[in-house]
Chains A and B, each alone.
Chain A
Amino acid sequence: MVSALLLRSSARFYGRHRWQGLLSLAGIMLGVAVVIAVDLANESARRAFDLSLEAVAGRTTHRISGGPDGIPESVFIDLRAKLGLYRSAPVVTDYVRVSGRSYTLLGIDPLSELVLGRHSLGIEGDGDLPGLLDADTVLLAAGLAATLEVGEGGELLMDHRGRSLRARVGAVFSHGDEALAEGLILADIAVAQELLERAGTLDRIDLVLDDNQVGTLAEWLPAGLNLVESESRDQSLRRMTDNFHLNLTAMSLLALLVGGLLIHNTMTFSVLQRRQVWGACRALGATGREILALILAEALVFALAGTLLGLLLGIVLAQGLVGLVLGTVDDLYFVLAVREFYLAPRSLLEGAGLGLGITLLSVLVPALEAAKTPPASVLRRSHMELRARAMVPAALLAGAVMMAVGWWLAALDSDSVVMGFVALALLVIGFCVLVPPVVALLVRGTLVVAGTLFGPLVRMMLRGIEAGLSRTGLALAALSVAVAATVGMGIMVASFRTTLDTWLVQSLSGDIYISLPGYTSERPGAGLSPEWVQSLAQLPGIAAIERHRLVRAETAFGPVQVLAVAGVERRPGTLAAAAARLPLKAALPGAGERLRAGEGVLVSEPLAFQRGIEPGAEVTFDVEQGAVTLPVLGIFSDFRSPRGVIAMDRGLYRQLWKDDGISGLALYGDGALSRAELLDAVRKMAALQPRDIQIYSSAGIRERSMALFDRTFAVTAVLRLLTVLVAFIGILGALMLVQLERMRELAVLRATGMTARQVTALVLGQTALMGLMAGLLALPLGLLMADVLIHVINLRAFGWTLTAAIPYRVLLEALALALGAALLAGVYPAWRAGRVAPARLLREE
C-alpha cells in the first residue's frame, strides 16, 4: 500500500529529528501511562473492596446483626433447630493487628460455611488436620503467611484492642482466589470466640433466605436484633467508595485530556513540519490517499511503541499508586482484607485503546489535511496556519458556549455526582478550545494597544507566538489545564484541610481524650472500666469528665454510628457542655437543651445529606423494647465517618440500649495543672490498667487527624504532579519544535546583525511569555474547578460542606509552575539559537 521508499523517508525524518520522535513517543507514553496507572490503581482498590466485602460478608442474601453486645448464640441454635433455617452461618469477627497492620480475624463454623459454599480452602502440606479445631489455632492464607513470615506450626502474635493474643498457625491454606484470602486470619468459631473474648456471642449470622423465610424470620426475631439485606449494606458501602473512585477517575480523565492534547500537538506538528515533503511527493504523483496512508502508518508505529511503553510505565506507576489508593480507602471506609495489586485486563485494554485511538485520531486531522490539500497550496504556504487563524471566532464561540453550559450544569440543583463531573468536563474542554484563540487575541491586542511601546525585539516575540499558535496552541491549552487542575485540587484540598481543622478545634473542647484501641471499629467491646473512670474523676486538676459511647446501630438508614455523649460531671466553675462538641449546621430552637434532656438526636451532615434529613425529621431505632422514633433536633458537621453518625444524650442511649459501657472520655482541666502535667497524671493512672489505653491531648488528636488527612490526600497530590509532568513534556516538545523550526529565521536575524545573546533572549523571552499566559489563563479555570469540586462534587459525594479557602500560595505556585515549565522548555532551543551559524543555515536550504 504505502511505498517502501516513503516509509523509509519517514523513518529517516525521525532519525534526523530524534528529539521530535522522542517527544511524540514520550507524549503518547506518558498519556497512556497516567491513565492506566490511575485506572489500575482504581481497579485494584475496587476489587480489593469487593473481595474484602465478599470475604467478610459472603454471597448471602441477609444477615442478622445485633446491638452493641452482638447476638446471643442461642439465636443461631434456634434458627437451625426451630426455624429450620439451614442455610445460615454464624460469624465472630474483629480486627486484630499483626506487626502494626490491621487484619480481619474471621471466626467461622466450617460446616456452616460448607452449606453456604463460601470460604473454600485447600490445605497445603500434611498438617495436623484435626488440630485445626484445637484451641488457639488459626489458619493463614499462603500469601499472608509469607507476609507475616510464619509457617504452619508457627506462632502468631496479635494485638486485639490493646490485648496481646498468641495463636498457633494450624495450617497454611491455598485459596482458589489468593487475593480474597490475603488479609484474613481464619479461625474456627470457637477459637475466635475465645481469642476475642466473645464466648456466648456472635457478631452476625449470614443467611440465604427465600421470600417466605424472610417474613417468618423477621416475625420471630427477638427485639434488639435486625434482619438486614446483605445487598443493601454492601451497596451503601459501595456507593461511598464509588464516589471516591469517581474522584480518582476524574483525575485520570484529566490526565488523559492533557495527554491527548499533547499527543495531538506533537503529531500535528510533525505532519505540518514536512508539508514541503508532502508537496514534493504530491507533485511527483503520490496520491492523497498514499500520503494519508503514509502519515497514518507513521502514527501507528508511534502509537504502538508509545502505547506499549506507556502500558509498562503505567503498570509500574500503578504499583506505587495502588498503595496510596488502598490507604485512602482504608482510612476513609474500612479495613481492607485484600491488598493485592490487580492487573485488570480491562484497564490495560482501555489504556491501549486510548493510546492507539487518540494518537491515530489526533493525526487523522492533519493527515487528511495534508492529503486533501492540493499539491499547489502545500507547496505554496502553510495552509493550516491560515485556517487556524480563520477558526478563531468559531473557537471562541464554541469554547464559551461549552463553558457556559458546564457552569449552568454545575449550578443545577441535583445530587448527582456524575452530573457534577460532566459539568467539570465541559468547563475544562471548553477552556481548552478557548485557549489558542484567547492567546491570539491577547497577543494581537497587546500589539495593537501597546505595539509602539515595545522595541522590535518584543514585537517580534509576540508575533512569533501568534505565528506559531497553530502548533503551540494545544500544548499551551494542555499546560493551562494541568496547571488549573493543580490550582483546583490544591484549593479544594486546602479548603478541606482548613474546614477540618476548624471543625477539630470546635469539637475538641476537652483537654485530654481517652479511649481504648479499636475505638472507631464497629463493635464497642467492653469499654473502659467504670471504677477506673471514677478514680480518674478524683484526680486533682480535673474539672469535669465527659463520657461517651460510640457504637454501631442498625437504623432505617442502614448501619450508623451512634455517638452517645454524656451528661458532664461538673465541678463548680466549669462550662463544658456536651453539645459544644458537635458544631451545629442547622437546628431546631432549643436543640441543645432538648438534646441534653434526651428528647431527640442530632444527625451528622453526610447522613443528613444522603438521606435528605432536615431538623424536625424523625429517626427510628430498633431496640429491645421495639421501634423507638425520635425527632432530629439538628444537623452537626462531622468528618468522622462518611457513613453517618447519630448523636444523642448518654442517658437516652442507656435507656434505649441498656448499655453502660464507656468508649471514651474527654477530660476538662480546671487550670490548676498544666496540660502536660495533667497528661502525665492520667498516663500514670492508665499504666495500672491491664489494657492498653490511648491517651491524647486535644492537640495530639488534631495532629494525628491532620496527618491522617494528609495521608489520605497524598494520592491526589501525586496525580496532580503526574498531570503537570505530562503537560510539561507537552509544552517542552511544542516549544522546542517551534523554536527549532525557526532556526533559519534566527539565522537570518543573526546575519542581519543580532547578537547571539539577543537571539537567546528572544527565544527564552518568547517561551516565558507563553508560559506566563498559560499560567494566567489557568488561574480562572483553576478557581472555577475548585468551586465545582468544593460546592458541587464534594457536597454531592460526601455530604461535606467545605468552607472555600483560597491559599494564595497555590495561585503563585501555579504561575511559577507554568512559567518554569515554559522557561525550562525554552532552554535548549535558546542555547541552540545562540550558537546558530548564520551562514551555514542560510546556505543549507
Chain B
Amino acid sequence: MQPGCLAKLFLRLVVLLGVALAVAACDGHRPAPSSVDVTQALGGEAEEGFERAMTVREFHFPADHGPHPEFRNEWWYITGHGRDERDNLYGFQITFFRIAIAPDAPRRASAWAGNQVWMAHAAVTDVASGLHLAAQRYSRAEPGLAGAAAAPFRVWLGDWQLTGLPEEGITGEAANGAAQGGLWHLSMAAEDFALELTFNPAKPVVLQGDRGLSQKSGSPGNASYYYSIPRLDTGGELTIGSGGDKRVIPVTGMSWLDREWGTSALGADQSGWDWFSLQLDSGRDLMFYRLRDTEGGMHGSSLGTWIEADGSSTVISPDDIRLTPLQWWRSPGGRRYPVSWSLNYPGAGADWIVRALLPDQEMNLAVIYWEGLVEVLEPESGRRLGLGYLEMTGY
C-alpha cells in the first residue's frame, strides 16, 4: 500500500473498525503484493456501540435476508457454476459487503451523511477459455447510492443489484417453512463482463455453526450470524468481453448463498481461512471453513456442515476432517495459494481431491484473495463427484 493516498484513510478506518473494506488502488495501479488482504482488514478490536453476535438467536425470513445495520459488517455472497448449451463450464461470484463505520446513523441536514459504506465484488470464470475476470465497486450508502432492504428484497450498489422477483420460488415441501425468500435476480455489469442471473432456492436455509451462531474465535462475541442456502437453481446470461469481442452466453446451473453478519471476525492468533462450499452430484453438500492459526495449522474454531439431499445437516468439527494442500499456484503478485487439496471426511466416507478448475482465480482487487470454481474428484478414478467454490485468504 502506498503512503499518501486517500485509500489509507479508508484502510485505517477499516483497520480501526475491523471491517472488510480496504482499498488500495488509489492511483489506478493494481495493488502491490504487499497490499492489504482480507485477514488484515478483518483484524482488530471491535468498536463500542455495535451489536455483537453473543447468543443463539431466532432467524426470521424473509426479514433476515435484509440488512442488520446495528452490526458492523454483513455480506450477501453468491457463488455458482453454470453450463452453456455446448456444456462448457462457467463459474461466477457476486458479493455485497456492508460496512458500518459508526454504530449509529447521524441525523444531519445533508442526505449524504450516513454511517454505512458498501463494497461489491464480482467475478466470472470461463473454464474453456481459461479466463477469470473480476471487478469491484464501492460507494457510500447515502443518499440511496447503495443499500439493502428485506421487503421487497433488494441489495444494491449503483447499478449492481440483487432483487427479489414478485413470483414465488419453487419452495416445495423440503423447505422448512418461513426460510424461503422466493426468486432473486442478479444484475451487474462491469467493464469486461456482466451477469444477469435468476436464483431459485432448491434447498432450505441451513443455519451454520450453533443454530446460526458461528463462533470465529475463543472470545465471546467474536462471532457472526451465518446461514446458507446451499442450492439455488440458476439460469440466465453471462456476458464476457467488451466491445466487438463481447459474448453473451445463456447458462443454467447451481448456486450457493451465504449470508453472514457480525461485528468482529478474526482473532489475533488467526492468519486467514480456507472456505469450501461443495455441491455433489449425489445431492449432498459440504461447507467447511478452515481458520488457520498463525502457524498455518487448523484453528480450533474452524467449522463446517454436512448437508443431506433433504436439507438435514450435521456439524463438522475440526477433528472430523483433514485438509491437506497438494499443489500450489504462485500468483503474479507473488502469493502462493494451494489450488489442489486432499479432503478427508470419514464421517461421510469422503476421501476426495478438491482441485481448482483454473489455478488463476485470484481476486486481484483492493482486497486480494483467491476465490474460484473447484471440482471434487475421486482420487483413484479421477471421476468428478461435484463442483463447488473455494475461498482462500491470508496467503
Q: Which residues of A contact B (CB under 8 A)?
A: 73, 76-77, 80-84, 86, 109-115, 117, 119-123, 129-130, 132-135, 174-176, 188-191, 193-194, 199-200
Kindly provide the distance from the CB of A26 to the nearest chain B CB, expressed in whole angstroms.
45
Given the interface pairs A77-B144, A86-B137, A129-B16, the reply to whether A119 lies near B6 with Cβ below 8 Å is yes
13 sample A-B contacts, Cβ–Cβ < 8 Å, listed by A number: A81-B158, A109-B112, A110-B10, A114-B25, A114-B26, A120-B5, A120-B7, A129-B16, A190-B114, A191-B110, A194-B110, A199-B109, A200-B111
Kindly provide the distance from the CB of B302 to the nearest chain A CB, expressed in whole angstroms.
32
Question: Is B27 interfacial (CB-CB < 8 Å)?
Answer: yes
Given the interface pairs A77-B145, A83-B159, the reply to whether A194 lies near B108 with Cβ below 8 Å is yes
Kindly provide the distance from the CB of A212 to the nearest chain B CB, expressed in whole angstroms.
9
Q: Is the CB of B23 within 8 A of A114?
A: yes
**What is the bound-complex CA distance between A445 and B153, given in angstroms?**
103
CB < 8 Å neighbour of B110 from A122, A130, A199: A199
Q: Which residues of A contact B139 (CB under 8 A)?
A: 80, 111-112
Kindly provide the distance from the CB of B106 to the nearest chain A CB, expressed in whole angstroms.
7
Q: Which residues of A contact B113 (CB under 8 A)?
A: 133, 135, 190, 194
* Size of the chain B interface, CB-CB below 8 angstroms: 40
Q: Is the CB of B28 within 8 A of A189?
A: no
**What is the bound-complex CA distance between A120 and B9, given in angstroms?**
9
Q: Can you name 4 extra interface pairs (CB under 8 A) apart from A81-B144, A122-B8, A190-B112?
A: A73-B112, A77-B145, A120-B7, A130-B17
CB < 8 Å neighbour of A110 from B9, B106, B111, B114: B9
Give a binary string over B129-161; 1 marks a CB under 8 Å from any A CB, 0 the rest: 000000001111011110000000000101100
Q: Is the CB of B27 within 8 A of A122?
A: no
Q: Which residues of A contact B16 (CB under 8 A)?
A: 129-130
Residue of B110, B142, B156, B159 with most partner-chain A CB within 10 A = B110
Q: Is the CB of B140 within 8 A of A117?
A: no
Q: Is the CB of A121 within 8 A of B137?
A: no
Kindly provide the distance from the CB of B143 to the nearest chain A CB, expressed in whole angstroms.
6
Q: Which residues of B contact A82 (CB under 8 A)?
A: 159
Q: Which residues of A contact B189 (CB under 8 A)?
A: 84
Question: Is B254 interfacial (CB-CB < 8 Å)?
Answer: no
Considering only CB atoms, which chain A residue lies closest to B13 in the complex? A129
Q: Is the CB of A115 within 8 A of B138?
A: yes
**What is the bound-complex CA distance between A121 and B11, given in angstroms?**
12
Q: Is the CB of B27 within 8 A of A120?
A: yes
Q: Is the CB of B112 within 8 A of A117?
A: no
Kindly provide the distance from the CB of B99 to the nearest chain A CB, expressed in whole angstroms.
11
Q: Which residues of B contact A194 (CB under 8 A)?
A: 108-110, 113
Give a binary string over B1-40; 1 marks a CB under 8 Å from any A CB, 0 the rest: 0011111111011001100000101111000000000000
Q: Is the CB of B112 within 8 A of A114?
A: no
CB < 8 Å neighbour of B106 from A81, A86, A135, A174: A135
Give a binary string over B64-107; 1 marks a CB under 8 Å from any A CB, 0 the rest: 00000000000000000000000000000000000001100010
Q: Is the CB of A114 within 8 A of B6?
A: yes
Q: Which of B255-281 contact A (CB under 8 A)?
A: none
Q: Which residues of B contact A81 (CB under 8 A)?
A: 144-145, 156, 158-159
Residue of B4, B16, B27 with most partner-chain A CB within 10 A = B4
Considering only CB atoms, which chain A residue lies closest to B106 in the complex? A135
Q: Is the CB of B112 within 8 A of A193?
A: yes
Q: Which residues of B contact A123 (CB under 8 A)?
A: 8-9, 12
Q: Which of B316-346 contact A (CB under 8 A)?
A: none
Q: Is the CB of A73 within 8 A of B111?
A: yes
Kindly provide the distance from the CB of B4 to the nearest chain A CB, expressed in whole angstroms.
4
**What is the bound-complex CA distance between A111 and B26, given in angstroms?**
10
Considering only CB atoms, which chain A residue lies closest to B15 in the complex? A129
CB < 8 Å neighbour of A122 from B5, B13, B144: B5
**What is the bound-complex CA distance between A120 and B11, given in angstroms?**
13
Q: Which residues of A contact B158 (CB under 8 A)?
A: 80-81, 84, 86
Kindly provide the distance from the CB of B16 to the nearest chain A CB, expressed in whole angstroms.
6
Q: Which residues of B contact A117 (CB under 8 A)?
A: 25-28
Considering only CB atoms, which chain A residue lies closest to B118 in the complex? A111
Kindly provide the distance from the CB of A379 to the nearest chain B CB, expressed in whole angstroms.
70
Give a binary string over B27-66; 1 marks a CB under 8 Å from any A CB, 0 the rest: 1100000000000000000000000000000000000000
Give a binary string over B110-134; 1 marks a CB under 8 Å from any A CB, 0 the rest: 1111100100000000000000000
Given the interface pairs A81-B158, A86-B158, A193-B112, the reply to whether A130 lies near B101 with Cβ below 8 Å is yes
**What is the bound-complex CA distance between A110 and B159, given in angstroms?**
19
Q: Which residues of A contact B101 (CB under 8 A)?
A: 130, 133
Q: Which residues of B contact A111 (CB under 8 A)?
A: 10, 117, 138-140
Q: Is the CB of B4 within 8 A of A175?
A: yes
Q: Is the CB of B110 within 8 A of A193?
A: yes
Q: Which residues of B contact A73 (CB under 8 A)?
A: 111-112, 143
Q: Which residues of B contact A191 (CB under 8 A)?
A: 110
Kindly provide the distance from the CB of B46 to the nearest chain A CB, expressed in whole angstroms.
13
Residue of B6, B102, B138, B140 with most partner-chain A CB within 10 A = B6
Q: Is the CB of B112 within 8 A of A130?
A: no
Residue of B25, B26, B112, B138 with most partner-chain A CB within 10 A = B112
**What is the bound-complex CA distance between A190 and B9, given in angstroms?**
17
Considering only CB atoms, which chain B residue lies closest to A84 in the complex? B159
Q: Which residues of B contact A120 (CB under 8 A)?
A: 4-7, 26-27
Kindly provide the distance from the CB of A294 to the nearest chain B CB, expressed in whole angstroms.
54
Q: Is the CB of B110 within 8 A of A110?
A: no
Q: Which residues of B contact A176 (CB under 8 A)?
A: 4-5
Considering only CB atoms, which chain A residue lies closest to B117 in the complex? A111
**What is the bound-complex CA distance between A84 and B158, given in angstroms?**
6
Kindly provide the distance from the CB of B152 to the nearest chain A CB, expressed in whole angstroms.
16
Q: Is the CB of B109 within 8 A of A193?
A: yes
Kindly provide the distance from the CB of A329 to the nearest chain B CB, expressed in whole angstroms.
28
**What is the bound-complex CA distance between A250 and B12, given in angstroms?**
51
Kindly provide the distance from the CB of B365 to the nearest chain A CB, expressed in whole angstroms.
12
Q: Which residues of B contact A133 (CB under 8 A)?
A: 101-102, 113
Q: Which residues of A contact B108 (CB under 8 A)?
A: 135, 190, 194
CB < 8 Å neighbour of B4 from A76, A121, A199: A121
CB < 8 Å neighbour of B111 from A135, A188, A199: A199
CB < 8 Å neighbour of B145 from A80, A113, A130, A200: A80
Q: Which residues of B contact A122 (CB under 8 A)?
A: 3-5, 8
Considering only CB atoms, which chain B residue lies closest to A118 in the complex? B6
Kindly provide the distance from the CB of B14 to the nearest chain A CB, expressed in whole angstroms.
10
Kindly provide the distance from the CB of A88 to the nearest chain B CB, expressed in whole angstroms.
9
Considering only CB atoms, which chain A residue lies closest to B7 in the complex? A114
Kindly provide the distance from the CB of A350 to the nearest chain B CB, expressed in whole angstroms.
31
**What is the bound-complex CA distance between A135 and B189, given in angstroms?**
34
Kindly provide the distance from the CB of B110 to the nearest chain A CB, expressed in whole angstroms.
4
Q: Which 10 A-B pairs have the closest CB atoms?
A: A84-B159, A122-B4, A190-B112, A190-B110, A120-B5, A190-B113, A193-B110, A80-B158, A120-B6, A176-B4
Kindly provide the distance from the CB of A762 to the nearest chain B CB, expressed in whole angstroms.
70
Q: Which of B166-184 contact A (CB under 8 A)?
A: none
**What is the bound-complex CA distance between A684 and B144, given in angstroms?**
47
Q: Which residues of A contact B114 (CB under 8 A)?
A: 190
Q: Is the CB of A130 within 8 A of B5?
A: no
Kindly provide the distance from the CB of B295 to the nearest chain A CB, expressed in whole angstroms.
31
Considering only CB atoms, which chain A residue lies closest to B28 in the complex? A117
CB < 8 Å neighbour of B12 from A77, A109, A129, A189: A129
**What is the bound-complex CA distance between A129 and B144, given in angstroms?**
24
Give a binary string over B186-198; 1 marks a CB under 8 Å from any A CB, 0 the rest: 0001000000000
Q: Which residues of A contact B25 (CB under 8 A)?
A: 114, 117
Q: Which residues of B contact A200 (CB under 8 A)?
A: 111
Q: Which residues of A contact B140 (CB under 8 A)?
A: 109, 111
Considering only CB atoms, which chain A residue lies closest to B140 in the complex? A111
**What is the bound-complex CA distance between A199 and B108, given in angstroms?**
10
**What is the bound-complex CA distance between A774 and B85, given in angstroms?**
94
**What is the bound-complex CA distance between A80 and B5, given in angstroms?**
24
Q: Which residues of A contact B4 (CB under 8 A)?
A: 120-122, 174-176
**What is the bound-complex CA distance between A67 and B10, given in angstroms?**
34
Q: Is the CB of B138 within 8 A of A114?
A: yes
Kindly provide the distance from the CB of A125 to the nearest chain B CB, expressed in whole angstroms.
11
Q: Which residues of A contact B143 (CB under 8 A)?
A: 73, 77
